[in-house]
Each structure stands twice: as structure tokens, then as C-alpha cells.
Amino acid sequence: MAELDTSGGGGKKGGKVRSKKASTRIDLTAMVDLAFLLITFFIMATTLAKPKAMDTFWPDKTKKDVQLPVPETRTMTVLLGANDKLEWFVGAPGSATHVDNFGKNGIRKTLIEENKKIEATHAGPDNFMIVLVKASDKSTYKNFVSMLDEINIAGIKSYGVVALTPAELGLLKRDGLY
């Protein structure tokens, strides 16, 4: 049991005769119990909170120039432009491009539909779509994170972040997204 003794001292011989002060005794047991309960609560509350971060996987830096051939018909390229807009195309940059926006009825719907088309037309274990995300100088970090979230929500198995080529930059300028 913890206690705090605040007795008045005394015990000196001589001097004036004074009345003896009553000792004040404070029981600190409840205070110690409360402190341990608060510490336990904060430890449990902080360890149960999960971090809200997306896992990213980076290529091995020891292996240089190792690229597997991927058919262009399985590749969807997404160009992030200005004003919360994006442009996408399947295949080579010269193919038909589409301007889209973010959200449930925007790029998410497109990702799901295009992935279903590619899974239906390609046989074998490699029948999934590969998404290449290319951000321009005019796009924002918010747009990049939103795109990665849309890819994750749509259930795309493979995606990569790649640098923008001059031809693709020309597409963004042509459509007023740069």
C-alpha cells in the first residue's frame, strides 16, 4: 500500500509548548491503480491500430535490364494529366485514346471492363491485364494515389509506375491535359 506521510515533524526539546499537529495520511493506492489502467489502455489502443499504407514492391536493383516480353494487347497505359483528368489506351500509344476521370463511374469502371475483356480473349495463366501508370508534370500526388487506389479496388494483379515518353506527352498536349 502506497501512502504519503505529511506529519508535522516536532521532537525538538525546549522552546514553546505547542499543540501537536495531527498527521495527514493520503492513501495513493487508487491513484497507482488508475495510472496502470491508463497505461494499459493506451498500450492496447495503439497496438490495435493498423497502418493505412499500401504495400509496394520494387524490382531487384542487382538485376539490370531484365524485361519479360508482354503482348501489347494485355497492356493498359494510364496517363495522368492536369485538372484531375487522365487519358488511357490499350496497346501501343498510336491506338485509340480515351479521356476519363477518377471515381466509381470513371477509371474504376474502365479498369474492371478492360480486365474482363483481356481475361476473356487471352488463354492460359497469363490472362491478366498489366496497367502502366505514367504521371505528367501537371498531375498531382493526390491523382497518383487515387490511381493506385482505383487499381487496388478493381483487383488488377499487375501494375507498374513508368516514366512518360515524348509521344505520350504529345497525346496529353493534344487533348488539353497538359
At 76-95, the pLDDT tens digits run: 999 999 888 999 998 887 66
Q: Does pLDDT of 13 surpass 70? A: no
Please say whether the beta carbons of 101 and 84 come within 8 A. Answer: yes
Domain boundaries, the chain: 3-48, 72-174
Specify the pLDDT at position 150.
Answer: 92
The answer to whether 130 and 154 are in contact (CB under 8 A) is: no
Residue 99: in which H helix or E strand, if any?
strand 98-101
Q: Give the H/E segment covering residue 145.
A: helix 141-154
pLDDT at 35 over 90: yes
CATH number for the domain whose boundaries are 72-174: 3.30.420
The confidence band for 32, taking pLDDT boundaries of 50, 70 and 90, is: very high
User: Rounded to whole angstroms, how far apart are CA atoms 170 and 97?
Assistant: 12
- Per-residue pLDDT, averaged over 55-61, amounts to 69
Look at 83-92, 100-109, 118-127, 155-164 and tell me which has the smallest mean pLDDT: 118-127
- Using the predicted structure, report yes or no on whether residue 41 has a pLDDT greater than 70: yes
Per-residue model confidence (pLDDT) at position 20: 74
Per-residue pLDDT at 10 exceeds 60: no
Residue 59 — pLDDT band, cuts 50, 70, 90?
low
Contact 162, 134 (CB under 8 A): yes
Task: Give residue 23's pLDDT.
Answer: 74
pLDDT of 115 > 80? The answer is yes
**pLDDT beyond 80 at 15:** no
Separation of alpha carbons 133 and 162, rounded Å: 6
Tell me what the mean pLDDT of segment 161-176 comes to. 88
Share of the chain above pLDDT 90, in %: 25
* CA 134/CA 144 separation, integer angstroms: 9
Rounded Cα distance between 105 and 142, Å, is 18
| H-assigned helices in 67-163 | 107-121, 141-154
Please tell me the distance from the alpha carbon of residue 86 to that of residue 151, in angstroms, as a whole number: 14
Q: Could you tell me the pLDDT band of residue 133, with boundaries at 50, 70 and 90?
A: very high
